[in-house]
Amino acid sequence: MNIENGLRLALKRNEFRLHYQPQYSIHNNTVIGAEALLRWQPENSPMIPPAKFIPIAEDNGLIVSIGDWVLREACRQNKVWHDAGLKLLVTVNISALQFKRGNLLESVQAALNDSGLEPRYLELELTESVLMFDTNAVINTIAQLRALGVSFAIDDFGTGYSSLSYLKRFAVNKLKIDQSFIRDLTSGKAEDTAIVKAILQLGDTLGLLTLAEGVETKEQAEQLSLLGCRKAQGFYWNQPLPADEFARLFTPDS
């Protein structure tokens, strides 16, 4: 079966899973959140990575119903963690088509209502592709969801074309510094340090939170801390983990 046909059946067959990458407060090394990352495990075949199937789902429109499932599952799981005393933010990646074709406001409201998760524990990650079209519709949807208490992050910040103008138009809460800037932070190249500093300062000035993505080494984490960056995620701490492994981070001896 090809990927497209398989994708059509995958929701019905319950073949999607979410993995969760912990997000840390750097200065005290505590987990403050979890980025939900979609995984597809077709029966009797190897896992298909998101880079292989998300672009196809975006092309054929399936990302709208898959995205609804992701929202519901992330909220459901986070409510379970909350009820167990783990009060974390869960962050969910949103595709442009979910704004365009789906009704994101209704989808998010349904996921929150049905799970019982408080809206302030859900954050939506938007990329430039979302922010690039139908500005007014996106601005309105963001405003309505913000009014509910849901927060927004710009993903992969610093890549793409006109990120700075977005900050004026879209009422987001957080900038996720793209991993490409973190990679060379400790290699002695002045440029990446300067860019990371500039993004952190921009966040401070505009009252936006900042989080560094793709931290892979202790040196990078320390350097970020010195630069005043307070939040981060990356392989240095953890890969994206299945929900049960994620929860075990908090009860290491079980």
Does position 155 bind Mn ion by CB under 5 A?
Answer: yes
**Residue 154, amino acid:** I
Helices (H) and strands (E) counted in the chain, each on its own, are 12, 9
Characterise 81 by phi-psi region: left (phi > 0), alpha (psi -120 to 50), beta (else): alpha
Nearer to ligand G, 10 or 215 (CB): 215
Strands 231-232 and 30-40: unpaired
Residues lying near Na ion in the complex (CB under 5 A) = 155-156, 213
Q: How far is the CB of 85 from ligand G (least distance, A)?
A: 26
Hey, what long-range contacts does 107-111 have (CB within 8 A, 24 or more apart)?
107/67, 107/68, 107/71, 108/71, 108/145, 108/148, 108/150, 109/148, 110/68, 110/72, 111/68, 111/71, 111/72, 111/74, 111/75, 111/76
Does position 123 bind Mn ion by CB under 5 A?
Answer: no
Half-sphere exposure of 253 (CA within 13 A, CB side): 0
Residue nearest to ligand G (CB): 234
Residue 217 sits at φ, ψ, to 5 deg, of -130, 160
Does position 216 bind ligand G by CB under 6 A?
Answer: yes
Q: How far is the CB of 115 from ligand G (least distance, A)?
A: 16
Binding partner selected for residue 163 from ligand G, Mn ion, Na ion, none, CB under the kind-specific 5 to 8 Å limit: none
Q: Which stretch binds Mn ion (CB under 5 A): 8-16, 92-100, 161-169, 242-250?
A: 92-100
Binding partner selected for residue 226 from ligand G, Mn ion, Na ion, none, CB under the kind-specific 5 to 8 Å limit: none
Residues from 118 through 177 that contact ligand G (CB under 6 A): 155-156
How much is the CA Rg of the chain, to the nearest whole Å?
18
Binding partner selected for residue 49 from ligand G, Mn ion, Na ion, none, CB under the kind-specific 5 to 8 Å limit: ligand G
Residues from 72 through 111 that contact ligand G (CB under 6 A): 93, 95
Nearer to Mn ion, 42 or 88 (CB): 88
The residues of the shown chain that bind Mn ion, judged by CB under 5 A, are 93, 125, 155
The residues of the shown chain that bind ligand G, judged by CB under 6 A, are 21, 37-38, 49-51, 54, 67, 70, 93, 95, 155-156, 179, 213-216, 234-235, 240
